């Protein structure tokens, strides 16, 4: 249960003046997601695949057979490199134009030339592409629903092009990588893709940007006559032309449609973040190439870039974020941009954007005497009297901080309620002081603040030192209602900073001055702002 612990008079918060800087880590957690049986990204048994000899049921195709590749919109011959089979629990059934297709939720369908979206992210009215006598043409989805999986599912590795027509709908499979391409493991080490084997684990990511573990189901190999060298501001990767790269929002794009200056999501050593493409160069050379088939979520990190093995956001898109040049939509920001925020004295300062995270979530509506802010229920909002409080814990009469026209004003909360439905949401990770202005309201980015090595972290199997955790591990956390829940280690930050000691009448805590600690009234206050006699929450017993 949650108990309050008082900060003792004798244990007044103070800064350790040690000359040596301690190595610190910060673990960011998101709710645990369990992956169901059977790999994803496959097509129901019996689905006809378009070939030069006519439609053929997908399960009857074999390596070496020829199918029609429709990457450019015109049919071109491509060769089946491999066929895989899984046993899914459910399918997404999509009806559009004159056809119906059942695929697993991760399978990408063409939504524009060179752009593919996972079935789970599609909605009624979205555009998909069907084959016709004059090539392919777009159709709107008439209906989409989830149905039980009562038969096996299959997927093809097709080259060149990476696309084929399944019951008339254009879908993507996968591309491949050169043998030395490094693939990230859950412990942070890298392994050349050509040395991986079935059953080994790799680091993967969900459409929401959460880091999880995935097992290799198969390693695929063939030869190509050409590959591309993709260079970003922080990574380089050699890959076949048809491989889809993750650009966020459940959407993958192939190199045919990506241009210099576009951004793709990549692992920067701490999290998935945006990286700008600096160059794309074609190399004509016969080389062996490899790809992985992994279990759900059917993704992995190749050369740090987020790719599909087959092919905590907090504010809705459109939310205006303060920058030195004026407010801009949150989704337009990228790594390296600067935002405007407030320091402890309420004066405007700049902070760099260190990461942009996109997902889907339900919204929480905060109504004030000056307007409305939409966020997610767990986002910390700055209170006028100091500290932060989860949006869902704000009460009528609470006063929050708002910055406008060079002035900090108090806005009184009239009410806060859950908004219906899910929508696309975005969050920023920014540098010190780890806050930004969303629609003028000062909010915390939920990053910042660290703990020294050796700090015990509770997990479902007992306490472990923070430095022993890895992305994908489970830890225990507390939800906004004060209930203990299992959460997921999404990413780990390692840095160096001066430690900050908080002594209480319970157990002591060493953290950094900017780390938010929970108060019994739902506020979060930075460790450096605590005073003797303040009470903070501590979990004791059950």
pLDDT tens string 103-154 = 888 788 888 876 778 888 899 999 999 887 667 888 999 999 999 888 888 8
The highest-confidence range among 7-11, 343-347, 446-450, by mean pLDDT, is 343-347
pTM of the model: 0.39
Torsion of CA 58, 63, 68, 70, to 10 degrees: 90
Q: Where is the domain boundary, 253, 283, 308?
A: 308
How many Cβ atoms from other residues are within 10 Å of residue 226's Cβ? 13
What is the average pLDDT across 85-103? 86
In sequence order, the β-bridge partners of residue 214 are 202
Tell me whether residue 33 is in a domain: no
Tell me whether residue 216 is in a domain: yes
481 or 200, higher pLDDT: 200
Task: Work out the pLDDT band at 530, boundaries 50, 70, 90.
Answer: confident
Tell me whether residue 217 is in a domain: yes
Exposure class string for 179-208: b at 16+ Cβ within 10 A, else e: eebbbbbbeeeeeebbebeeeebbbbbbbb
For residues 66 and 108, membership in a common domain is answered with: yes
What CATH number is associated with residue 225? 2.170.16.10
For residues 499 and 433, membership in a common domain is answered with: no
Q: Which pLDDT score is estimated for 84?
A: 74
Q: Which pLDDT score is estimated for 513?
A: 67
pLDDT at 480 over 60: no
Burial category of 361 from C-beta neighbours within 10 Å (exposed 0-12, middle 13-18, buried 19 and up)? buried
Tell me whether residue 137 is in a domain: yes
For residues 61 and 142, membership in a common domain is answered with: yes
For residues 165 and 131, membership in a common domain is answered with: yes
Q: Which pLDDT score is estimated for 413?
A: 94
246 or 292, higher pLDDT: 246
pLDDT at 411 over 90: yes
Chain Cα centroid distance, residue 252: 13
Tell me whether residue 507 is in a domain: yes
Helix (H, G, I), strand (E, B) or coil at 21: coil
Query: For residue 498, what are its two tokens?
Result: 């001066």
Lowest mean pLDDT among 226-235, 266-275, 406-415, 485-494: 485-494
What is the average pLDDT across 214-222? 69
pLDDT at 184 over 90: no
For residues 193 and 264, membership in a common domain is answered with: yes
Range of the domain at 54: 43-172
What is the average pLDDT across 359-370? 81
pLDDT at 365 over 70: yes
For residues 425 and 513, membership in a common domain is answered with: no
Tell me whether residue 512 is in a domain: yes
**3-state DSSP helix/strand/coil percent for the chain, to nearest 5?**
5, 55, 40
Q: Where is the domain boundary, 245, 279, 308?
A: 308
Q: Which pLDDT score is estimated for 542?
A: 54
Q: Where is the domain boundary, 246, 281, 308?
A: 308
For residues 303 and 369, membership in a common domain is answered with: no
Total domains in the chain come to 4
Tell me whether residue 450 is in a domain: no
For residues 210 and 246, membership in a common domain is answered with: yes
Task: Work out the pLDDT band at 313, boundaries 50, 70, 90.
Answer: very low
For residues 460 and 517, membership in a common domain is answered with: yes
pLDDT at 414 over 90: yes
State phi, psi for 514 to the nearest 5 degrees. -95, 5
Q: Which pLDDT score is estimated for 97?
A: 87
Tell me whether residue 337 is in a domain: yes
For residues 141 and 85, membership in a common domain is answered with: yes
């Amino acid at each position: 249960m949650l108990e309050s612990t008082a900060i003792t008079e004798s244990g007044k918060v103070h800064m350790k003046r040690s000359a040596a800087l301690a190595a610190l880590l910060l673990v960011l957690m998101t709710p645990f997601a369990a992956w169901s049986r059977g790999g994803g990204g496959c097509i129901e048994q019996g689905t006809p695949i378009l070939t030069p000899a006519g439609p053929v049921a997908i399960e009857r195709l074999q390596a070496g057979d020829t199918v029609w590749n429709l990457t450019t919109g015109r049919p071109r011959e491509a060769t089946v490199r491999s066929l895989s089979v899984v046993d899914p629990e459910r399918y997404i059934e999509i009806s559009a134009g004159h056809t119906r297709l059942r695929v697993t939720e991760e399978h990408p369908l063409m939504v524009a030339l060179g752009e593919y979206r996972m079935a789970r992210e599609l909605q009624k009215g979205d555009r998909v592409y069907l084959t016709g006598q004059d090539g392919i043409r777009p159709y709107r989805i008439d209906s989409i629903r989830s149905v039980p999986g009562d038969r096996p599912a299959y997927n093809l590795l097709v080259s060149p092009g990476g696309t084929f027509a399944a019951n008339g709908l254009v879908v993507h499979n996968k591309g491949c990588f050169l043998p030395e391409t490094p693939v990230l493991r859950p412990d942070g080490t890298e392994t050349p893709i050509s040395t991986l084997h079935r059953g080994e684990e790799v680091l993967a990511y969900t459409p929401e940007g959460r880091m999880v573990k995935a097992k290799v189901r198969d390693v695929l190999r063939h030869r190509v006559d050409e590959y591309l060298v993709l260079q970003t501001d922080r990574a380089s990767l050699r890959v076949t032309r048809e491989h889809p790269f993750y650009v966020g929002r459940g959407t993958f794009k192939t190199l045919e449609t990506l241009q210099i200056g576009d951004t793709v999501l990549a692992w920067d050593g701490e999290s998935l973040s945006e990286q700008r493409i600096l160059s794309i160069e074609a190399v004509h050379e016969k080389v062996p190439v490899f790809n992985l088939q992994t279990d759900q979520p059917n993704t992995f990190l190749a050369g740090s870039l987020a790719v599909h093995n087959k092919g905590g956001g907090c504010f809705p898109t459109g939310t205006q974020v303060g920058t030195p040049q004026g407010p801009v939509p949150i989704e337009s920001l990228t790594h390296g941009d600067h935002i405007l925020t407030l320091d402890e004295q309420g004066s405007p300062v700049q902070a760099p954007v260190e990461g942009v995270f996109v997902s889907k979530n339900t919204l929480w509506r905060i109504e004030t005497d000056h307007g409305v802010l939409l966020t997610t229920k767990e986002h910390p909002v700055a209170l006028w009297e100091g500290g932060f409080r989860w949006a869902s814990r704000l009460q009528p009469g609470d006063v929050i901080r708002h910055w406008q026209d060079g002035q900090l004003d108090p806005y009184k909360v009239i009410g806060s309620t859950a908004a219906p439905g899910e929508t696309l949401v975005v969050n920023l990770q920014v540098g010190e002081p780890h806050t930004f202005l969303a629609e003028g309201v000062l909010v915390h980015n939920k990053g910042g603040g660290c703990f020294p090595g050796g700090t015990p972290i509770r997990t479902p199997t007992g306490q472990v030192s923070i430095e022993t955790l890895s992305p994908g591990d489970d830890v225990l956390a507390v939800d906004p209602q004060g209930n203990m829940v299992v959460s997921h280690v999404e990413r780990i930050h390692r840095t160096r900073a001066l430690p900050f000691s908080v002594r209480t009448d319970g157990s002591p805590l060493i953290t950094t001055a900017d780390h938010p600690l929970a108060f019994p009234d739902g506020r979060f206050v930075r460790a450096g702002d605590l005073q003797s006699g303040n009470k903070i929450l501590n979990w004791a017993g059950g």
